[in-house]
Amino acid sequence: MPKVTYTDHTGESRIVEANVGDSVMETAVRSGVPGIVAECGGSLSCATCHVYVDEAGLASLPPRAEMEDEMLWGTAEDRRDNSRLSCQLRVTDGCDLRVTTPATQV
Amino acid sequence: MTSTRTLAGTASACPVHHGYEPFDQDDPFPSYAALRAQEPVMFDERIGYWVVSRYDDIKAVFEDWETFSSENAQAPVRERGPQARQIMEEGGFTAYSGLSARVPPEHTRIRKVAAKAFTPRRFKVLEPEIRANVVRLIEAMLARPERRGDLVRDLAHDLPTITILTLIGADVDKIGTFKRWSDSRSAMTWGDLSDDEQVPHARNLVDYWAECRRLVAEAHETAPDSLVGDMVRMQAEGDPISDHEIASVCYSLLFAGHETTTTLISNALRVLLSHPEQWQCVVEDTGRIPAAVDEVLRYSPSIVGWRRRALRDTEIGGVAIPKGADILLLMGSANRDESRFEHGEAFDISRPNAREHLSFGFGIHYCLGNMLAKLQTRIALEEVARLAPGLRLADHADIHFGHNLSFRAPAAVPVTWED
């Protein structure tokens, strides 16, 4: 099964088994992973599912679409080169993605 | 004396409705609690809506947009009278909804263009201007020798209106006109007006819609650096959106872009000042303001009820709902549901999960302006805490809320202060 590793800002990690086709945000919310708020439920309107993607995994992801890129200017903790909105990241077969959540989403 | 009227109303009228009075907004919360406990999915024949009051049911309906359409979200609750209809037809009024009552795939297409124009970068640059406006408005209020003010009139009315007019590129000297049009839209769509009462509002809606169309026509001519200018440019570059649709988005933003934020700012100060120990916490540590704003949104949302229509036979919380049924989701009730919020009836800015409120909806129609609304409310609270930390509600402030199915807006928030 594909999996996603969520590391919070203190360094604590959780590994969650994920379903192909779900988003990295949905996977986190369903498993109660703290650090991902996802107020709007995935409609690209709140920027509260911000994650920093591990450099190794970054290259495997499709690039940001225009609206995701715009919304990343509205995150609570400043965006970096590896910033993504986890509602836009789809779990794929065999994926082993590692993301870090910011200290705050609001 | 509203409290007496409300109590009497609760006791005598309609025990079958658990005290719920659809248009009465002074204190709907006891009836919400009764509905959640006794009949969480109730058909209210007085308005023709299935009234849903529990958190999980409401969130599930918002999420399932394929079953529950938003097509009725802007429909007049009370049918338009013949005179109003004639005025609107003759006046060329063809608006219905910018986004909230549109459905996919049309909604998806238009929202994409509107969202690209209404980005965090667009409004974050306005932060210094918003702050300067708060300071100017508060200082003007504090300069009054009688030491009395009304936070709706003196602050919350103008602040978000200036912001949205600036973003859209409309005339900021016409705050009063735009507010009047918004009040008419609110009354005509969610109010309980007689045919005669509708007439002046119908005229206002004609003028309001004409201004939306004019803004689009003007943007084609002058290519302004504004939200409308951006949408017209996107259209020219191939984004699929018509002039009527851009005007409809303006019709939406010129209402939703300030009306509910005026209410949020008013409620934030009203609720915090009525809990002086929590106001003191905010004054001493303004870092607590974002959490306080979320708790205000939960405890006292600007919109307490929003509508959907069932597109097929279905069920909500185990209750059979027929195809075509109109549904009223009471977010004001969901936000106090004990199954989600411990001691839900208590206001507590340290509540860890206040952000799970449904005040901005949930899913594909989630409030486009949520970040701008919170930004402006945060700035307003920061500056009031700095400039007027000793502000308090006026003694005997008897605060009332307008008669409306969905919008719960205080008419005034009277305050006073020491020198």
- Residuewise pLDDT in 10s, chain B (419 residues): 333 334 433 444 456 899 999 999 999 999 999 999 999 999 999 999 999 999 999 999 999 999 999 999 999 999 999 999 999 999 999 999 999 999 999 999 999 999 999 999 998 999 999 999 999 999 999 999 999 999 999 999 999 999 999 999 999 999 999 999 999 999 999 999 999 999 999 999 999 999 999 999 999 999 999 999 999 999 999 999 999 999 999 999 999 999 999 999 999 999 999 999 999 999 999 999 999 999 999 999 999 999 999 999 999 999 999 999 999 999 999 999 999 999 999 999 999 999 999 999 999 999 999 999 999 999 999 999 999 999 999 988 889 999 999 999 999 999 999 97
pLDDT-based confidence at residue A106 (cuts at 50, 70, 90): confident
Q: Which helix (H) or strand (E) holds A56?
A: helix A55-58
B173-to-A11, B128, B179 alpha-carbon distances in Å: 52, 19, 12
pLDDT of residue B268: 98
Looking at beta carbons, which residues of chain A come within 8 Å of B367? Answer: 45
- The secondary structure of chain B, three-state, reads CHHHHHHHHHHHCCHHHCCCCCCCCCCCHHHHHHHHHHCCEEEECCCCEEEECCHHHHHHHHHCCCCEECCCCCCCCCCCCHHHHHHHHHCCCCCCCCCCCCCCCHHHHHHHHHHHHCCHHHHHCCHHHHHHHHHHHHHHHHCCCCCEEEHHHHHHCCHHHHHHHHHHCCCHHHHHHHHHHHHHHHHHHHCCCCHHHHHHHHHHHHHHHHHHHHHHHHHHHHCCCCHHHHHHHHHHCCCCCCHHHHHHHHHHHHHHCCHHHHHHHHHHHHHHHCCHHHHHHHHHCHHHHHHHHHHHHHHCCCECCEEEEECCCEEECCEEECCCCEEEECHHHHCCCCCCCCCCCCCCCCCCCHHHCCCCCCCCCCCCCHHHHHHHHHHHHHHHHHHCCCCEECCCCCCCECCCCCECCECCCEEECCC
Task: Provide the CB-side half-sphere exposure for B204 (13 A, CA).
Answer: 19
Burial class (CB in 10 A: 0-12, 13-18, 19+), B403: middle
Chain A residues near residue B368 by CB distance under 8 angstroms = 45
Residue B286: predicted pLDDT:
97
Contact between A41 and B371 using a beta-carbon 8 Å cutoff: no
User: Residue B355 and residue A106: Cβ atoms within 8 Å?
Assistant: yes
The C-alpha atoms of residue B96 and residue B255 are separated, in whole angstroms, by: 13
Q: Using CB atoms, which residue from B119, B291, B360 is nearest to A73?
A: B119
Subunit contact B124:A66, Cβ cutoff 8 A: no
- Contact assignment for A45 to B368 by CB distance below 8 Å: yes
Could you give the CA distance from residue B399 to residue B93 in angstroms, rounded to a whole number?
Answer: 35
- Map tokens 């402030």 to a residue: B397
Which residues fall within 8 angstroms of residue A61, CB to CB, at 6 or more apart?
A53, A84, A89
B152, B411 Cβ separation under 8 angstroms: yes
CB contact under 8 A, B115 and A37: no
Q: With contacts defined as CB-CB under 8 Å, which chain A residues touch B237?
A: none
- Would you call A45 and B112 a contact, using CB atoms and an 8 Å cutoff? no
The whole-number pLDDT of residue B328 equals 98
Give the minimum alpha-carbon distance from A37 to chain B in angstroms, rounded to a whole number: 8
Place of tokens 């000793």: B390
What is the CATH architecture of A3-100?
Answer: Roll (3.10)
Closest partner residue to A73 (CB to CB) among B62, B121, B363 is B121
Chain A hits for B364, CB-CB cut-off 8 Å, are 43
Q: Which fold has domain B70-303+359-411?
A: Cytochrome p450 (1.10.630)
The closest CB to that of A46, out of B62, B121, B371, belongs to B371
C-beta of residue B272 within 8 angstroms of C-beta of residue B294 = no
ipTM confidence score: 0.91
Of A43, A66, A73, the CB nearest to B120: A73
Q: Stretch A23-33: mean pLDDT, rounded? A: 95
Task: Round to whole Å and give the CA distance between A23 and B300.
Answer: 32
Contact criterion met (CB < 8 Å) for B124 and A74: yes
- Partners of A39 on chain B (C-beta within 8 Å) are 355, 360, 366, 370
Using CB atoms, pick whichever of B121, B355, B362 lies closest to residue A37.
B355
**Which of B61, B118, B119 is the mutation pick for testing A, counting most A CBs within 10 A?**
B119
The domain segmentation of chain A, as residue ranges, is 3-100
B-chain residues near A45 (CB < 8 A): 115, 366-368, 370-371
Contact B268, B290 (CB under 8 A): no
State residue B12's pLDDT score. Answer: 44
B366 vs A67: CB contact, 8 Å cut-off?
A: no
Buried b (16+ CB within 10 A) or exposed e, A80-89: eeebbbbbbb
Q: Amino acid letter at B217? A: A
Interface residues of chain B, partner chain A, Cβ below 8 Å: 62-63, 112, 115-116, 119-121, 124, 290-291, 294, 355, 360, 362-368, 370-371
Query: Are A41 and B368 inside 8 Å of each other by CB?
Result: no
Q: Do residues B41 and B57 touch, judged by C-beta distance below 8 A?
A: yes
Q: Residues of A near B (CB-CB distance < 8 A)?
A: 37, 39-48, 66-67, 70-71, 73-74, 106
Chain B nearest-CA distance from A57, in A, is: 27
Residues 6+ apart with CB under 8 A from B364: A43, B65, B104, B107, B108, B111
For residue B336, what pLDDT is reported? 98
Which of B370, B374, B375, B377 would best serve as a mutation to test chain A binding (most A beta carbons within 10 A)? B370
Q: Where are the domains of chain B?
A: 70-303+359-411
Classify residue A66 as exposed, middle or buried by CB count within 10 Å of its CB (0-12, 13-18, 19+): exposed
